[in-house]
Structure 1
């Protein structure tokens, strides 16, 4: 199949902007809890009426401090309640927040704030303020800097107290669906990050169709109000889309900035979300942690058996959904019921006990991992999208997922596969262009279509599978074209592997650089009564090398011999963002890594 369209389920808004939902809901039911906010270690409700009042008060302060309709304001912070507060305050006066990753370097901050022509910036803490301050002399348009940890919100409320609420109301009513809502910068895996201008209509089209398409996640029912705990970065389009969807869908929203298990798991237990949003790496870590715990208790075999049952159970359910099988057998159902009490219920409890659905995006999820969680009672809805498509362009249907794919187009979207395999997208959420880069915009927006740069396939049911990225395709000296993504994901599926970079462009065969997962390695050493080893010692450990070789062999089983990894090298340290080898969203910068480790790459080929 070359093209597949899913009709829109939501009516495109003709007037207004994103902030309107806050004001309309506050007028209708001001006492409805809209947020869970962690204060002094305890989660407290914030009603939509209180949030509306805070939005108005902060918006008046922004106006009093010189922010005007159409101005752009940087937002550099981890995920926290104030980010959402400032987003809606800025939207209510027609201003445009510009997300900046909290881990950004001074050079990255300079590029984003300069390219977007930001007039002000909101940062989380003093370190961020110092980062902005180090480049402030190169940002002549930047005239204001506020710090969240220094009570920026309270200061702005005080600054705008003399203004009437009507001032905000007049600004809000001037916002139209085609007004720019935000400028979000791409991850920059293949070059300088580009600013994507995303309108209020883009966000509304995305969120309203998602709400209509996935009622089990968003439907309000007596005794089961939907809620989600946001731990994804709000500097990423995925997080921002869910922020908007939570408000428009009346979903209780919590924020937590720390994804370390010792912090995140207690927050999940206390907040008890009904669904969560995450990237595949989070689900990989949940699975790996559960298995390590079982192995430490001498129950590894039982866990592996439970995992196998979950995978076979979910696969049988999938076959039944597509009329290719009868569903789980009676024996399999019985085994599944036993393991549900012994294993699966504990995994669900670790996520708060109420979660039955999750959304995953940002990178590909292994089919077996998706099947495992589905079999364990957590349906992970994997999707695909870009900053340019305001997050999701395709996603698996909740009632008929096909694991290993990224699903079908979301309502209102068309997916087209070009002659060279490139994925093209068309719909109401496609961005309007890159800031200050008309040539780059023309290159990707073609007669209403967004040329994504990704390569994929549509099956006969309209399900999309991502097979690679055009700029990342490798061509060996033998003329064989190889997509590195599947191989890398296959190797990275091993609990001892953190990262995998496949190389081989203009080389006689495919090879790989592999880094180690510290938690997995520490557990592996402990279970074998080995002492803690340094990175240099680990790469020389023959038993560890044999384990990694098994991961490579397993990945190679999914490709032809000419596409397989022939040799690899274990690295003593991981690739990091500080080294300039990862994007803020933790994607590998291929060219940068190959340049930084040129000697290691040469050694893979006998150099």
Structure 2
């Protein structure tokens, strides 16, 4: 199949903007709890309720402060913070003031901050921590308006805006409609300076309402629905989920530190969450490492096989008695404990950002937590396709959500059309024309295929296809995903462009390595350790069985240090910056072919 479309389910009026639901719900359901905010950092700290009226009051007060400070309708306001309640308040306050939000990753360097604030023409910025303010001051010493959350910045804004009337705020809110700019999201990108994506209120609302009333309606149509956000809200994926949660009235909670996710899951007890594949890999690897350390590795691995077998059988029409019996036994021995570790109420998760892999998808479904994989880009307001509860085709990224069309180009590139497609790149019309063709199709750069039921499968990136010296085209992603599934491995980058064969750069997970060293009685381990090399070779062998001989990895090297966001080798969504890795590890690559 070359093209597949799904009709629009929910229309959005031209006058609508993202703040409408915040102010209307405060009138219709003022006492309804919409957010829970953790009081303290201890694992057992209470999650205090914030009502629709309380949230609206916070948003309105901060918005009035921005207006009083001189922020005009259409002005850009930066927001640099971890994922926390104040992020969501500030995000909606910027919109309520008629302004345009410009999110900045809290890990951004001074050069990146300077580029984003300068290119967007931001008039003000709200930051979270002292370090964030110092970064802004280093980037732009004369920047005029900076408020810091942990230094009472939002309270300062509320006081500043105390003289602004409700009528003035209502007029400012009404000044922005669906076609007006809501946010400029700078793509993290794997090369060059990020490009600013112009996202309108209509882009966000059209996406949120059609997703939440269409394919994912079952996730939001229950009374006790709740979601824990821990991914950076500066990323388009987490940002659209924030909008979906506010639109649907789903109880929302925030976790600013990834280290707090495990205890916060147990304390908050979400019914669903979202993550990138690396998060689910970490959950699996942690469970495996604990089982091995406790001497229960064989039981755990048998439980994994039973979960995957059961899920595959369910996809093929239903599990037989033997598979069901094994699954039931391990549900009591293993799966129930895994569900309890997530709070006991979690049954659904959404994964995006990169490929999850069939093995993990089947494992989690077998455990009782269905991971729905979706796909999209910042330029498509995050999602374009998503799997559906009850019709989850693992290994695909689902069908288009209502109002979206997808097409496979002659060269295999995935093209997208719909009201969720961005308005273009900020200050870069040349790049806009290159990305959106005269027929309105956005060229995603991803390569894929559509099956007979309309499900999309992503097979690689158009620019990341490797061509060996022998002329063989190789998609690195499937090989990388398979190797990264091993508990000891953190990151993988397959190389081989214009080279005689395919090879790989591999890094190790520091936490997993500590347990492996203890289990093997080793105080220190070098990357040339024979036992370690054998472990990694086993992971490579598993990946090689998936592809033809010409596509197999012939050699690999274990790098001394991990590839991380802090080292500059990963984007905030944990994608490898291939060009930078090739630059910084050119010597190791050359040695592979020496």
Shorter-chain TM-score bucket reads: over 0.9
Please name the residue that 1:309 is paired with.
Answer: 306
2:569 is the counterpart of 1:581: yes
Report the counterpart of residue 287 of structure 2 in structure 1: 290
TM superposition shift of 1:175: 1.4
Q: Give structure 1 regions of 4+ aligned residues with deviation exceeding 6 angstroms.
A: none
Moved more, 333-342 or 492-501: 333-342
Shift of residue 6, structure 1, vs aligned partner: 1.2
Q: Does 1:65 align with 2:69?
A: yes
Aligned to 1:176: 177
Which residue in 1 is equivalent to 2:261?
264
Residue equivalent to 1:30: 30
User: Which shows bigger deviation, 26-35 or 88-97?
Assistant: 88-97
Shifted more, 579-588 versus 470-479: the winner is 579-588
Alignment equivalent of 2:531, drawn from 543, 556, 564: 543
C-alpha separation between the residues in 1 aligned to 2:393 and 2:95?
38
Question: Structure 2 CA distance, aligned partners of 1:438 and 1:453?
Answer: 18
Q: CA deviation at 1:554?
A: 0.7
2: CA distance between counterparts of 1:397 and 1:215?
Answer: 9
1:80–1:257 contact (8 Å) kept in structure 2: yes
Identify the match of residue 274 of structure 2 among 254, 274, 277. Answer: 277
Is 1:121 matched up with 2:125? yes
Q: Does 1:367 align with 2:358?
A: yes
2:105 pairs with one of 70, 92, 101: 101
Alignment length, in residue pairs?
A: 588
**Does the CA contact (< 8 Å) of 2:289 and 2:487 recur in 1?**
no
Contact 2:14/2:179 (<8 A) preserved = no
1:435 is matched with: 426
Structure 1 distance, partners of 2:373, 2:200, is 25
Secondary structure class of the residue paired with 1:134: helix
Q: CA deviation at 1:457?
A: 0.8
Q: Distance in 2 between matches of 1:581 and 1:289?
A: 24
Deviation at 1:413, TM superposition (A): 0.7
SS of the residue aligned with 2:162? coil
Correspondence 1:238 to 2:205: no
Show CA shifts across 1:393-428 (max 9, x none). Answer: 011121111111111111111110000000000011
TM-score (norm 2): 0.98
Q: What secondary structure does 2:112 align onto?
A: helix
For 1:98-123, what per-residue CA distance to the aligned partner results, in whole angstroms no more than 9, with x for missing partners?
01000000111111111111111111
TM-score, normalisation: structure 1: 0.95
Q: Matched residues in 1 for 2:322 and 2:567: separation?
A: 52
Provide the residue aligned with 2:164 in structure 1: 163
Aligned match for 1:521, one of 513, 518, 522: 513
1:567 corresponds to 2:536: no
Structure 2 Cα separation of the partners of residues 520 and 404 of structure 1: 27
Partner of 1:556: 544
C-alpha separation in 1, matches of 2:357 and 2:382: 20
Deviation at 1:429, TM superposition (A): 0.5
Conserved? CA contact 2:5–2:404, under 8 Å:
yes
d(CA) in 2 for partners of 1:427 and 1:210? 13
Structure 2: where are the runs of 5+ without partners?
none
Residues 178 and 201, structure 2, Cα contact 8 Å, conserved in 1: yes
Per-residue CA distance 1:41-80 (angstroms, 9 max, x = gap): 3210000101111111111111111111000011111100
1:134-153 to structure 2, matched below 5 A, reads 134-137=138-141, 142-153=143-154
CA-CA distance at 1:216 after TM superposition: 2.2
Matched-pair contact (CA < 8 Å) for 1:104–1:584: no
Equivalent pair of 1:22/1:247 in contact (CA under 8 Å): yes
Q: Distance in 2 between matches of 1:347 and 1:387?
A: 32
Aligned partners of 2:487 and 2:534: how far apart in 1?
A: 14
SS in structure 1 of the partner of residue 257 of structure 2: coil
1:310 Cα deviation after fit: 0.6
Q: Distance in 2 between matches of 1:561 and 1:31?
A: 63
CA distance in 2, matches of 1:192, 1:159: 36
Aligned equivalents of 1:471, 1:170: Cα separation in 2: 47
SS at match of 2:164: coil
State the match for 1:324 in structure 2: none
CA distance in 2, matches of 1:349, 1:538: 37
Partner of 2:246: 247
Correspondence 1:194-233 to 2 at 5 A? 194-213=195-214, 214-221=216-223, 225-233=224-232
Aligned-residue offset at 1:191: 2.5
In structure 2, how many angstroms separate the alpha carbons of the residues matched to 1:499 and 1:13?
45
CA contact (8 A) 1:498 1:515 kept: yes
- Distance of 1:42 and 1:490 partners within structure 2: 40
Unaligned 5+ segments in structure 1 are 321-326
Aligned to 1:331: 322
Q: CA deviation at 1:39?
A: 1.8
CA distance in 1, matches of 2:8, 2:501: 46
Which residues of 2 match residues 375-414 of structure 1 at below 5 A? 375-414=366-405
